[in-house]
Amino acid sequence: MHCPYCRGTDTKVLDSRVADDGGSIRRRRSCLSCEKRFTTVELMQLTVLKRSGASEPFTRDKAVAGVRKACKGRPVTDAQLAVLGQEVEDALRLTGAAEVPAHEVGLAILGPLRALDEVAYLRFASVYRAFESADDFIKEIASMHADALPPLAQPTG
């Protein structure tokens, strides 16, 4: 860790606290060279394992960019997309894995996107799941309708 004042590399941690969201740690540090104090925030690095075998850091903006294309022309705001991006990141972090396969990112997007806008969901799902015909759309829509039906009333008595 470099001191932001003198660029010294010898620092001492004075205090560590878990941030409110539980996803980061705030550390109060003191530079042993210039004796100035500064704060750092440490985040767990979430990595995406791509199909090619390469790894890259997860970025919420990249996940939202793909969803934004599916939402083009739909009544979805940037604020709603930001919330969706946070939900996706939270879901991935809750798995407890530091590295997640790329297809898991897509799966984490599908649920919140479906709740946000069904048309955008179908657009995204058609690319993500590689729909090949109109029958694939029909099956997905039928599945959506089946999931939306209330449970059958059970007879009492």
User: Mean pLDDT throughout 125-134?
Assistant: 92
HSE, CB side, 13 Å, CA atoms: give it for residue 98.
3
**Band of residue 98 on the pLDDT scale cut at 50, 70, 90:** confident
Model-level pTM? 0.69
For residue 97, pLDDT over 60 is answered with yes
Quick: pLDDT tens for 35-58.
999 999 987 788 999 989 999 999
Beta carbons within 8 Å of 106's beta carbon, 6+ residues apart: 128
Pairing of strands 47-49, 99-101: parallel
- Averaged pLDDT score across all residues of the chain: 89
